[in-house]
Amino acid sequence: MRIDVFSIFPEYLAALDLSLIGKARQDGLLALSVHNLRDFTTDRHRTVDDTPYGGGAGMVMKPEPWAQALESVHGGARPVLIVPSPAGAVFTQAMAHDLAREEHLVFACGRYEGIDERVLEWAEGSFDVRPLSLGDYVLNGGEVAVLAMVEAVARLLPGVVGNPESLVEESHSDGLLEYPVYTKPSAWRDLAVPEILLSGNHARIARYRRDEQLRRTARRRPDLLARLDAGSLDAADLAV
Ligand code: SAM
């Protein structure tokens, strides 16, 4: 997969050199480039923002540098252009799976009051444009959202996570949160690991974990449970 990120703070994205994503880049599983938007300006001050038409507080990112920047990475195909925005659809694990199947992702990090809306309209001509939000709160810029989205997508690429099975039973993979996990020692500060996990009975452990998923999701995220397809529940689930 190829990923291009545009930002006026490219150094913010240095974390993408670390850990599994850094290794995926070194191993050639991911070709990720971070570009400075100011390199696509033409004036002496490398200006990327101006005052908003219609008045109001703050500044707006100018269209010209964005068009130059996006044109510089556009190849033959139609890349997905992700525009992080608190006014976008909320990014989900299902979207991460969809994006992991794409060949080329481009991320446009906004700052100030955001990017001139015409950039998105213009980009529709040659990109699959998706304004996406990290959640219902406002950040200062798109960089933190890009770190989260790139990590969520890249870890789904074949070979990035050592054991692909660890991606299967995760929170949000089946609409539920993951069950609680434990490691050694089996007794720690008067707290014991649930007995059943030491039993070696795989069928009972699987049932216990499924029950814990349902209980935890009901307690912490009842909205997820309400959205669950009733057909995905078995009789034992309904008894929890
Ligand atoms: N005026 C904008 C609004 O109210 O919708 C907020 C602009 S915000 C201060 C600046 C930039 O931060 C946005 O253009 C976007 O790139 C990024 N940003 C802020 N909150 C975000 C969120 N929840 N998800 C994704 N990106 C976000």
Given this model, what pLDDT does residue 21 score?
Answer: 95
Ligand 1 site, residue 237, Cβ cutoff 6 A: no
Given this model, what pLDDT does residue 231 score?
Answer: 83
In this structure, the residue with its CA closest to atom 1 of ligand 1 is: 113
Given this model, what pLDDT does residue 47 score?
Answer: 98
Ligand 1 pocket test: which of 49, 61, 82, 85 has the largest number of ligand atoms within 8 Å of its C-beta?
85
Q: 85 C-alpha vs ligand 1 centroid, how far in Å?
A: 4
| Cα gap 146→85, rounded to integer Å | 10
Report the candidate in 142, 135, 191, 153 with the shortest Cα–Cα distance to residue 12.
142
SS3 state of residue 192: strand
Q: What is the fold, at CATH topology level, of the domain defined by 2-164?
A: Alpha/beta knot (3.40.1280)
Q: What is the fold, at CATH topology level, of the domain defined by 171-239?
A: Trp Operon Repressor; Chain A (1.10.1270)
In this structure, the residue with its CA closest to atom 27 of ligand 1 is: 85
Report the candidate in 87, 98, 220 with the shortest Cα–Cα distance to residue 149.
98
Distances in Å between the Cα of 84 and the Cα atoms of 66, 142, 157, 215 are: 14, 5, 21, 33
Residues annotated in the binding site for S-adenosyl-L-methionine, as ranges?
Answer: 110, 134-139
Given this model, what pLDDT does residue 95 score?
Answer: 97
Q: Is the overall model pTM greater than 0.90, yes or no?
A: yes
pLDDT in tens, 76-134: 799 999 999 999 999 999 999 999 999 999 999 999 999 999 999 999 999 999 999 99
Residues annotated in the binding site, as ranges?
Answer: 110, 134-139
Q: 5 C-alpha vs ligand 1 centroid, how far in Å?
A: 16
| Cα gap 103→106, rounded to integer Å | 10
- H/E segment holding residue 35: strand 31-36
Domains of the chain: which residue ranges? 2-164, 171-239
List of the chain residues with pLDDT < 50? none
Ligand 1 site, residue 131, Cβ cutoff 6 A: no
Ligand 1 site, residue 111, Cβ cutoff 6 A: yes
Biggest CA–CA distance in the chain, Å, is: 70
Q: Which atom of ligand 1 is nearest to the CA of 87?
A: 5
